[in-house]
């Protein structure tokens, strides 16, 4: 379940750009992976596992990388934006795959990592403690992202999504808004990546490649783009489906997940979030009538 929280944060971070700006990124996993690898490199090469060092390092790395790449990618829209983010994602995937510095001896990944040291004497991690630790991360990220999209900044992003030339004509620097949104999305993706490596205790090149980036897109679409809580549901649901389908069919679980996702997208147009909201509204109305 802890992995579900990290994936939900990742999906929510992508929704800020995909749902509120209407730009689907196929390279958002770069920031998720950057957060993970920054923590992994500190543990592997520096023997540093302090939460107060590794967590900020992972988030700052992802944020700075987003600030650098954002200078280029937010100049493009539509298919060009999607292809450029895909290319950058594959570039960083190749870097961590090829360079030995990003790998543990004898394997193209970093494994055998430990849970972070929070600096409290005689403190030991248990599954329950780490669950609540992950839950706190998730709640904070959800609260902050929800405040961001409901702020004036979020409204401007939605305006750019609907009609960027008109927003530009009204005096808004649309490039700057998109650039800042890209950095913020990278920041939260880095938080998700840090939480992921703490839970799974490994970092693999796939985190930066198309696999996790596309998984993020699926989570946003499944939950409902432009809602924040929808992608959170999509992230939680994807991890749960992956777990239970792998128990039922250890070899063919991707096929089972694919069938479930196709069925969900056909039955729940616009994602799960709008349908759950409508169901909640009807249920509340019935209760109040009584």
- Predicted pLDDT of residue 242: 77
The closest alpha carbon to 51, from 214, 253, 191, belongs to 191
- Predicted pLDDT of residue 179: 95
Q: What angle do CA 184, 61, 109 make, to 5 degrees?
A: 120
Q: What is the mean pLDDT of each run of 10 residues along the chain (290 residues)?
A: 85 92 91 95 92 95 96 90 92 91 85 89 88 92 94 93 90 93 96 94 90 88 86 85 74 71 74 70 63
Residue 50: strand pairing partners: 117
- Predicted pLDDT of residue 290: 59
**Which residues lie below 8 Å from residue 239, measured CB to CB, with a gap of 6+?**
1, 3, 4, 7
Q: Is-above-0.75 flag for pTM?
A: yes
Which domains, and CATH codes, for the chain?
2-289 (1.10.3470)
């Amino acid at each position: 379940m802890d992995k579900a929280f990290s994936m939900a944060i990742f999906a929510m971070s992508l929704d800020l750009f995909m749902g509120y700006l209407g730009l689907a990124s196929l390279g958002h996993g770069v920031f998720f992976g950057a957060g993970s690898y920054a923590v992994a490199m500190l543990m592997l090469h520096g023997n540093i596992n302090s939460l107060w060092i590794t967590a900020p390092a992972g988030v700052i790395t992802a944020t700075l990388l987003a600030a650098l790449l954002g200078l280029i990618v937010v100049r493009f829209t539509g298919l060009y934006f999607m292809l450029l983010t895909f290319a950058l994602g594959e570039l960083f995937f190749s870097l961590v795959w090829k360079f030995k510095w990003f790998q543990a001896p004898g394997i193209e990944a970093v494994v055998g990592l430990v849970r972070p040291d929070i600096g409290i004497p005689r403190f030991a991690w248990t599954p329950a403690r780490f669950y609540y630790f992950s839950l706190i991360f998730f709640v904070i990220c959800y609260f902050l992202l929800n405040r961001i999209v409901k702020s004036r900044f979020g409204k401007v992003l939605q305006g750019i999504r609907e009609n960027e030339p008109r927003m530009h004509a009204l005096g808004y620097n649309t490039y700057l808004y998109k650039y800042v949104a890209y950095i913020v999305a990278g920041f939260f993706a880095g938080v998700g990546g840090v939480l992921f490596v703490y839970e799974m205790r490994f970092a693999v090149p796939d985190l930066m490649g198309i696999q996790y980036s596309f998984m993020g897109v699926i989570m946003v679409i499944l939950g409902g783009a432009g809602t924040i809580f929808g992608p959170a549901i999509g992230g939680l649901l994807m991890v749960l489906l992956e777990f239970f389908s792998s128990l039922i069919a250890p070899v063919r679980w991707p096929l089972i997940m694919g069938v479930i996702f196709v069925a969900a997208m056909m039955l729940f147009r616009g994602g799960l979030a709008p349908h759950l909201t409508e169901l909640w509204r009807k249920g509340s109305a019935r209760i109040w009538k009584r």
